Structure 1
Amino acid sequence: MLTDVFISPFVDYEFMRRALVGSLALAVSGAPLGVFLILRRMSLAGDALSHAVLPGAAIGYLVAGLSLPAMTFGGLVAGLVVAIATGAASRFTTLREDASLAAFYLVSLALGVTLVSLKGSSVDLLHVLFGSVFGLDDAALFMLAGVSTLTLLTLAIFYRALVLDTLDPLFLRQTSRFGEFIPFLFLGLVVLNLVAGFQALGTLMAVGLIMLPAAAARLWTHELSAALPLAAGVASLCVYAGLVFSNETGAPTGPAIILAAGLCYFASLVFGRAGGVLRLKRPRRHLAG
């Protein structure tokens, strides 16, 4: 019966309901940020920042064990430090931003893995790297819901400023005294969602739920106002599909969710109405003379 596969697990098992609620919170707040990252040509920045979270989370783990507040605070501080340091390196040196991001990405990943390995076991390391979406407790759910709510409210309040900063940052700086503040606000939201995401999906997988649905949405529409909710919807669908697949097959949950997002992205590459392969190969109509 289809209900046994698609509905019953979420009715019968509390851990499945917790996983669904927590992952949906990440989906609806993270994927719209991914759309802005793509438009800003900062897709790799999301990946780099996701690994920048790791050393801070590892230090929190060394101090307090698998403590949610300690690891969250450490990850948030580390992510913000790397974001600021990357901007400073690209501004005051001859290195381009992508080179600075690559350097911080590699160092952060190596440092985080080393710190976790000093005190913990391979199980603890896998928990930090790949998350434990089926192990979300009340504290984690409240944090995910809080981050999601804060992100959506901030996007709604500063939507116009974020769009201007994405499409014409010079105009925003000339017309608003808050123009210099908006990029840091945006990076702060990205880091906050990545920190929340590592609790469920781990530092290696969290960025996938931000970027892949956003990339898929951009292949279906050129309208930003449509791409944001579409990305959130695609991410939510991928969360549900990944949880069902993981429950049925025993596959790791985080990678299953990201693989579902990857399938949506590859399907959009082919069929997307705003940039898919079939759309681009379709012959254009010429105006009749």
Structure 2
Amino acid sequence: MRRALMGCLALSLSAPPIGVFLTLRRMSLMSDAMSHAILPGAAIGFLVSGLSLPAMTIGGLAAGLAVALLSGVVTRATLLKEDASLAAFYLVSIALGVLLVSLRGSSIDLLHILFGTVLALDDAALVLIGAISATTLVWLALAYRPLVIECVDPLFLRLSGRASTVTHLSFLAVVVLNLVGGFQALGTLLAVGIMLLPAVIARFWAATLSGLLPVAVGAAALSSYAGLLLAYHRDLPPGPAIVLTAGVIYAVSILFGRQGGLAWRIRRA
């Protein structure tokens, strides 16, 4: 439980800020597609070394980065929009991943990869998640200005030089990194939950970017802590419990959030 909490708190520092920028850029569903893009690489690592953390991590990272780069190339080289190219890669990736795992593993192995086992995090997994979190925070500090400009006026950034391409591709790489970190704890299907749900929650409580980021981090940390407590006392699977706790906070935010919540809208009317 201590390792699970430490891993989830480390993810809560890095994944929600990335989710905030995904929502601001209207790329929320992209993260879901990218989380499934990790699956074939993780499955190949599983075929080679079984349930080995290094092998599955390297495979997932390679597959995610490959899909991110390929979708970016397809978007820029053809008339296909980014969401359409990602959707195509997403469908192929999840089908290929499930097929590869089924060739050697059992249904239990497939569930482990799809939904994760946060209570099985060991020291190596914690080091990996911590390194991903630290790398993400350093990248955010370095790329914050062009990232904000791209959210507000992407055309201006594109006309100003090469910063647009570098920012976009590095952003996709950081998304993949955080999904790989989330995959260790929550599996490929739920990894995106700790990234997007806190970011969406923050939109109901903060009106500025400087407010969105800490609110999203706080919502993720609260969801992780409360979800693990609920799973421990009610004997529930911890990954779904964490995401469902975030879902409950999201529902409360819809009703009572200060920025567009239903209760505030009714009161103002």
| TM-score interval (norm. to shorter) | over 0.9
- 1:102 alignment partner in structure 2: 87
Shift of 1:176: 4.8
For 1:174, the equivalent position in structure 2 comes to 159
Give the Cα separation in 2 of the matches to 1:204 and 1:59. Answer: 17
* Matches of 1:104 and 1:172, distance apart in 2: 27
Report what 1:122 is aligned to: 107
Corresponding residue to 2:24 among 24, 39, 45 = 39
- The reply to whether residue 69 of structure 1 matches residue 49 of structure 2 is no
Alignment counterpart, residue 142 of structure 1, candidates 127, 138, 142 = 127
Structure 2 unaligned segments of length 5 or more: list them: none
> Which whole-Å CA distance do the structure 2 matches of 1:94 and 1:172 have between them?
21
Determine whether 1:151 maps to 2:136: yes
How far is the alpha carbon of 1:156 from its aligned partner? 1.4
Once residues 124 and 265 of structure 1 are traced to their aligned partners in structure 2, the CA distance between those partners, rounded to angstroms, is: 31
Distance 1:81 1:44 in 2: 18
The CA deviation string for residues 17-59 of structure 1, in whole angstroms up to 9 with x for no partner, is: 1000011111111011000000000000000000000001101
TM-superposed CA distance for 1:212, in Å, is 0.3
| 2:212 equivalent to 1:227 | yes
Alignment match, 1:85: 70
Larger Rg over CA atoms:
1
Aligned residue pairs, count: 269
Question: Structure 2: how far apart are the matches of 1:42 and 1:177?
Answer: 21
Partner of 1:261: 246
Aligned AA (2:52): S
For residue 29 of structure 2, give the secondary structure of its aligned residue in structure 1: helix
Instruction: Determine the structure 2 residue equivalent to 1:236.
Output: 221
Q: Which structure 2 residues correspond to residues 184-199 of structure 1 after superposition, within 5 A?
A: 184-199=169-184
How far the C-alpha of 1:279 sits from its partner, in A, is: 2.7
**Equivalent residue letter for 1:171:** F
Task: Output the aligned Cα RMSD.
Answer: 1.4
What is the rounded CA distance, in whole Å, between the counterparts of 1:175 and 1:98 in structure 2? 25
CA deviations 1:80-129 (Å, max 9, x no partner) are 11112222333333433322222222221111111111111111111101
Moved more, 70-79 or 47-56: 70-79
Q: Do structure 1's residue 246 and structure 2's residue 217 form an aligned pair?
A: no
Provide the rounded CA distance (Å) in 2 between the counterparts of 1:92 and 1:171.
Answer: 21
1:218 corresponds to 2:203: yes
Letter in 1 for 2:250: Y
Counterpart residue identity of residue 238, structure 2: T
Structure 1 residue 130, shift from structure 2 partner: 0.7
1:170 offset after TM fit, Å?
Answer: 2.1
Q: 2:118 aligns with which of 121, 130, 133?
A: 133
Q: Which amino acid aligns with 2:206?
A: T
Q: Which residue of 2 aligns with 1:4?
A: none
Q: CA deviation at 1:177?
A: 3.9
